[in-house]
Structure 1
Amino acid sequence: MASLLTNGSAMTALQNLTATIRKLDETQTRISSGLRVGKAEDNAAYWSIATTMRSDTGALSTVKDALGLGSATIDVAYTGMNSAIEAVKEIKNKLVAARQPGVDRDKIQSEITELQRQLVSIGSTSVFSGENWISVDSSQAGYSDTKTIVASFSRSNGEIAIGTITVSIQTMKLYDAADQSGILDLKDTATNGGVEYSVATLNIAALTNSQADIEDLEQMIAWVDGAVSKMTDSAASLGAVKQRVTLQQDFVSSLMDAITRGVGTLVDADMNEESTRLQALQVQQQLGIQSLSIANQNSQNILALFKG
């Protein structure tokens, strides 16, 4: 039935055109944003998962930064320890040279004193971001001989967990201003005269060629050699921790990439598919406009019947 008041064909054509325009807008939004799910209304479940995982990726990025900071701190401590080992080995060499009767032990002591000063300088300057692991003061408020590095972030059943790498500096500190319990300022009392000394304070200038003084000198050599051994063990421990931190950095980077790929699978738009759909919808839009135009011609045909 033809009617001037109700044009069913035009209404249907308009509805189809409106639906096509809506789909066209969605496709253009996906192409411009690159996202198939950009808002919760697109797909609430996928949007929720993607938002949470993006948040976790941000936390992992912070973990990666913390690992970088920890790695640098370990590297500085390791560098300081290595330099200190070389200086202490040189002190041992000087003491061995002083064992020879007839040498000027006072001049040898002047060389040892400079090496001792160098050790103090190494210990005090091995600092990164306010952290010094080889020259400490255990009497300071809040001091702990256990250092931690943030190493991981995980989520399970809605609960989050922060993982850390723990490093004990109790056996690797060279100096401790509080109680002189470091490797270099720890005192030995095994000399014949009962004189206390440490690697940092030993002095051979007054030693003679007497049997007692020679025995004391040999004890000093053994004490310094023991310090080198302890420092070598500490450097090895720092190297092992450094390797673990490096491996964890690589893992965190790979994990972030994997999460990003997973989120992309859920919410990223397939640009090939979307561009094909865009072309199809543009054709449908043109056809819809033509259909609406044809449907509107019916009213004009009715008017023509009344023309004389």
Structure 2
Amino acid sequence: MSVTLAAGVRANLLALQQTSSLQEVVQNRLATGKKVNSALDNPGNYFTAAALSDRANDLNTLLDDMGQAVQTLKAADEGIKAIQKLVDSAKAKANQALASASSTDRATFASEYNNLLSQITDIAEDSGYKGKNLLKGDSLKVIFNERTGEAQNSLTISGVSYTDVSNLSLTAVADPSADWATGTTGDTAINDTIDSLNSALTNLRTQASTFGTNLSSVQIRQDYTKSMINTLQTGADKLTLADQNEEGAKLLALNTRQQLSSTALSFASQADQNVLRLLG
């Protein structure tokens, strides 16, 4: 059985339905903060914003990797600083031995020198971060963008092996009681050791400078990536975020319209009520 509605009633009922539908849209925007929540709202804006957000997420993952690379470089730098101090101490022992006229004291200094070299090896062994140790010969690849293949931007940092002091041109004193003994032979051996220590310090300073340059490059790309992520996210937001003030004003207007439509519907139905009174 169908019910026939007066034209005025039907028009006002339709207006109420439309107003209710618009209220749902506005309420959803206020709840989510977005004016585009699905492709149905605005296909162009939705898919463009999704692409921007996806790229921002990819870069954000790479940003985490860059942060870890920075820590790996810092760990290596701290290791080099500690090794430099040990080399300086070893050089001091060699100079003390050279200035000493006692073979016994020289033998003691030589043994202490050997102990310092073993500490260099230990520090190099302990300068890793999350399984990567640039002072143990490991290399580190830092990826800067989300593309692959030839379009990928990255930096490969080559490590050095200081776990073997011979790579610093250093050697332990084979026979502390004899090799640094007083006399021309002992003095020559000590002077050769001091030359090797000076060479090692030059090597360490050069490597520290190289790691410092790499660290600076990674940090610059890190800051750039942060700015790019912010740009991408802002762009996506401009396409999808709703103006809360505007949506709030719309909801207020729709609520007012709903009240007026309800009043109009009540007036429109009065004609049917008059007929009911006649029948009564």
Provide TM-score, normalisation by structure 1. Answer: 0.81
Change (3 A) 1:60 1:118: same
Match of 1:14 in 2: 13
Q: Once structures 1 and 2 are overlaid, which stretch shifts more, 56-65 or 145-154?
A: 145-154
Please, which of 152, 161, 172 is the counterpart of residue 145 of structure 2? 152
Matched, 1:256 2:229: yes
Change (3 A) 1:63 1:9: same
Per-residue displacement from partner, 1:226-273 (whole Å, max 9, x unpaired)?
111011100111122122222222222222222221111111110110
Provide TM-score, normalisation by structure 2. Answer: 0.88
Q: What SS does the aligned partner of 1:275 have?
A: helix
Matched, 1:245 2:218: yes
Matched, 1:126 2:135: no
Per-residue displacement from partner, 1:55-83 (whole Å, max 9, x unpaired)?
22221221111011111111111101110
Distance of 1:123 and 1:5 partners within structure 2: 91
Match of 1:289 in 2: 262
Q: Once structures 1 and 2 are overlaid, which stretch shifts more, 222-231 or 212-221?
A: 212-221
Please, which of 197, 207, 224 is the counterpart of residue 234 of structure 1? 207
Deviation at 1:217, TM superposition (A): 3.0
The residue type equivalent to 2:18 in the other structure is: A
Distance of 2:252 and 2:226 partners within structure 1: 39
Distance of 2:92 and 2:60 partners within structure 1: 48
Per-residue displacement from partner, 1:28-63 (whole Å, max 9, x unpaired)?
111111111011111111111122222222212211
Change (3 A) 1:205 1:24: same
Asked if structure 2 preserves the Cα contact closer than 8 Å seen for 1:185 and 1:201, the reply is no
Which structure 2 residues correspond to residues 145-224 of structure 1 after superposition, within 5 A?
Answer: 146-153=139-146, 162-169=152-159, 172-175=160-163, 184-186=165-167, 198-203=169-174, 205-207=177-179, 208-224=181-197
Change (3 A) 1:146 1:132: closer
Deviation at 1:150, TM superposition (A): 2.5
Distance of 1:255 and 1:56 partners within structure 2: 10
Q: Once structures 1 and 2 are overlaid, which stretch shifts more, 12-21 or 145-154?
A: 145-154
Distance of 1:5 and 1:90 partners within structure 2: 104
**What percentage of residue pairs aligned between the two structures are identical?**
25
Asked if structure 2 preserves the Cα contact closer than 8 Å seen for 1:70 and 1:149, the reply is yes
Deviation at 1:185, TM superposition (A): 1.7
**How many residues are matched?**
274
Asked if structure 1 preserves the Cα contact closer than 8 Å seen for 2:134 and 2:158, the reply is no
Distance of 1:186 and 1:242 partners within structure 2: 23
The residue type equivalent to 2:208 in the other structure is: A
Greater percentage in helix: 2
The residue type equivalent to 2:250 in the other structure is: R
Q: Once structures 1 and 2 are overlaid, which stretch shifts more, 18-27 or 255-264?
A: 255-264
Q: Once structures 1 and 2 are overlaid, which stretch shifts more, 24-33 or 146-155?
A: 146-155
Q: Once structures 1 and 2 are overlaid, which stretch shifts more, 146-155 or 8-17?
A: 146-155
The residue type equivalent to 1:109 in the other structure is: A
The residue type equivalent to 1:59 in the other structure is: D
Deviation at 1:304, TM superposition (A): 4.7
Q: What SS does the aligned partner of 2:38 have?
A: coil
Per-residue displacement from partner, 1:125-183 (whole Å, max 9, x unpaired)?
112111111124xxxxxxxx54212233369xxx99543222122xx43135xxxxxxx
Q: Point out where structure 2 has 5 or more consecutive residues left out of the alignment.
A: none
Q: What SS does the aligned partner of 1:165 have?
A: strand
Distance of 2:177 and 2:71 partners within structure 1: 40
Q: Point out where structure 1 has 5 or more consecutive residues left out of the alignment.
A: 137-144, 177-183, 188-197
Which structure 2 residues correspond to residues 14-93 of structure 1 after superposition, within 5 A?
Answer: 14-93=13-92
